[in-house]
Chain A
Amino acid sequence: MNINLLKEKSLQVRRTILKVALSAGKGHIPPCFSWTDIATVLFYGDVLKINPNKPDWKDRDRFVLSKGHAALTLYSILADLKYFSTDELEKFATGGALLPGHPDAEIPGVEVCTGSLGHGLGVASGMAFASKKDNLSWSTYVVLGDGECQEGSVWEAIMFAGHQELGKLIAIVDRNTFGASDSTENTARLNPLDDKFKAFGWDVEEVDGHNFNSLISTLNQANIRAHENKPLCIIANTTKGKGIDFMENSKYWHHQMPKSEQIDIAWEQLGGQWID
């Protein structure tokens, strides 16, 4: 998919997220929007080797969304790729529905149950470790929130992956600089995050998480880089709430729902229309 189509797809995904969240009255719109461009390049930009017709294809790349609260991005893409019917999106977070607020592994295309922060990188490391032991070709991609990186278990996993030289493990940190209610730098400082990963034996690359040229280049080369004995951390500098100006970079927007005229503004900025 070329860059213009990717941009349009990303906008389409954002519109789906907004629509589903508004219908359900539930969902984490700003944390979804901060990694939506990354997700678009991963899933539509020929980065992940996957086959929606065969979700359990044994040679597929593994993808783990560790920041499980941003599930609506993943759901919107998986539905669009026909891992499951788009009807399921309309039932999001309703009783008995396939799709809960945080992803579980009964959902086609979802590898791991996530939502409690600090688990995904460890599980992804286990996958990458097994793959390495068997000398298999597939890679493991995991998207972490930056606030999530305040969890101690994340650093246990970073140590493990560095020590075991898991070259086919790619961790993408959605560095929107916010936790749930404040900047990470005001609560438990993460910077210099790049140096911390490097000190634990990782390669680190930094990218603008909304620049499609940079994302395409970085993500496509992630698996063919020089230091194959090191896991790779891509710090993607992003904007929480990207695409809707009143949500962007605001500590007040995490899981709130837009109301009244905010809804119209949001739709206008996403180039769509809210049809109830």
Chain B
Amino acid sequence: MPGNNWGGNGLIELTLDKLTAQKFDPRDATFDAISSFMKKDDDVFILTNDFNAFGLDKIRKFAEDRVVNVGITEQNMISVASGMALSGKTVFVFGIAAHLSFRALEQIKLDVCVQNLPVIIVAVGAGLAYGPDGPTHQGVEDISVLRSVPNLSIYNPADFYSITFSIRKAYESQTPSYIRLDKEVLPQLYSNDKDLKNGLIIHQKTKVNNQGIIFATGITVWPALKAQELLKIKNIDCLVIDIYKIKPINTNLLKEILFDTPWAVVVEEAIDLGCLGELIARHIDGGPTKLSSVNLGDKFLLGSSNREWAWNKYGFNPSDIVNKVLTLDQDTKLGDEKKV
């Protein structure tokens, strides 16, 4: 890692106390951001498939005719958004991630992305946000599927500032975007958006070479950060990197960061195939980094898979991540000793 100079990416000071000090609702943050555009731009519309939110009602108070509930018709909602975008509108589409990404996949691909239109899909229910509701509602395969669609940007933010930043970037880009949201009230991680420009946020306590990295995205950033604290107590300094923008991912920066990284753990509430872990593996590309993943494997989660249950089962808790890191760290050191 030459000089650890990562173009202004954050040395964001963060403590566990701060993690629990302030919380926010991702949907409120999102609609407050969209509301600010709608007040300035009469061509911004919101479509929803009968999925409501407090923030939507707030917008209805000043732009009732631009918030359109199209009924439970996901495919048509995306097609209509496309037709509106072709006619000069910027359209935010609001619904549940699992339903929009799969039911309306072909509409997203053909009606929106082929023509590179300003349709911004705000998808609630990232990962296991709807875990107890079963595989019909879990959003654990959407990234794998949507990553394959050209022209579509994919954001997975889980902090007030990374959410509002993502919404703004999507609006300004006037290109197809998919922004995943958790539905829980979340701890606020950042105090501003000045370090968000590169699509990822590096959490780093100290600057030393040969640090391992915990990659996380969405809600898994905070157990990753907690694991970082616990590892510090065990004299292991590692980075945590919040990948809030999954596509296009910041390839150059990732390659630079991974250049001499001994180990990396990828923590994500997603299936194993096609998600962030695969992306990170591609960026290691023959380098020395030993990679390990914490994810949901290659199967459906039947029954009521709430986060507490799933995190225990699949090892998402900070102590599980610590154990994973300790094993990797030990393997790496043993490997180095053998080389000597």
**Chain A residues at the B interface, C-beta cutoff of 8 Å:** 62, 104-105, 111-113, 116, 118-119, 121-131, 133, 140, 152-153, 156-157, 159-160, 163
Contact = CB atoms under 8 A, between A and B. Distances in A.
Given A104-B114, A113-B114, A160-B70, A124 B83 contact: yes
Which secondary structure dominates where chain A touches chain B?
Answer: helix
B114 A125 contact: no
Interface of B: 65, 70-71, 73, 75-76, 78-89, 106-107, 110-111, 114-115
Given A119-B111, A122-B107, 17 more contacts: A62-B87, A105-B115, A112-B82, A112-B83, A119-B79, A122-B78, A122-B79, A123-B79, A123-B111, A125-B80, A127-B83, A130-B87, A130-B88, A152-B75, A157-B76, A159-B73, A160-B80
A130 B111 contact: no
A108 B17 CA distance: 59
A160 B71 contact: yes
A133 B75 CA distance: 21
B73 A123 contact: no
B110 A129 contact: no
B174 to A, nearest CB: 15
B79 A126 contact: yes
Nearest to A138: B87
Contacts of B79: 119, 121-123, 125-126, 153, 157
B175 to A, nearest CB: 15
Secondary structure at the B interface, as helix, strand, loop or mixed, is helix
Nearest to A124: B83
Given A116-B106, A119-B110, A129 B83 contact: yes
Nearest to A163: B71
A122 B75 contact: yes
- Leading 4 A-B pairs by shortest Cβ distance: A126-B83, A122-B79, A156-B76, A130-B87
B106 A112 contact: no
Contacts of B107: 119, 122, 153
Given A113-B114, A133-B65, A159-B73, A126 B82 contact: yes
Contacts of B82: 112, 122-123, 126
Given A113-B115, A130-B89, A156-B76, A123 B65 contact: no
A26 B195 CA distance: 54
Contacts of B84: 126-127, 129-130
Nearest to B107: A119
Contacts of B87: 62, 126-127, 130-131
Nearest to B113: A113
28 contacts: A105-B115, A112-B111, A116-B106, A118-B75, A119-B107, A119-B110, A122-B79, A122-B80, A122-B82, A123-B111, A124-B83, A126-B80, A126-B86, A126-B87, A127-B83, A129-B83, A130-B83, A130-B84, A130-B88, A130-B89, A140-B83, A152-B75, A153-B75, A153-B79, A156-B73, A159-B71, A159-B76, A160-B73
A112 B81 CA distance: 13
Given A130-B88, A131-B87, A153-B75, A123 B114 contact: no
Contacts of A156: 73, 75-76
Contacts of B88: 130
A16 to B, nearest CB: 27
Contact of B114 (A105, A122, A159, A160): A105
Q: Which of B80, B83, B107 has the most CB of A within 10 A?
A: B83
A151 to B, nearest CB: 9
A233 to B, nearest CB: 16
A205 B115 CA distance: 33
Contacts of A126: 79-87
B125 to A, nearest CB: 21
Contacts of A123: 79-80, 82-83, 86, 111
B110 A128 contact: no
Nearest to B79: A122
A127 B86 contact: yes
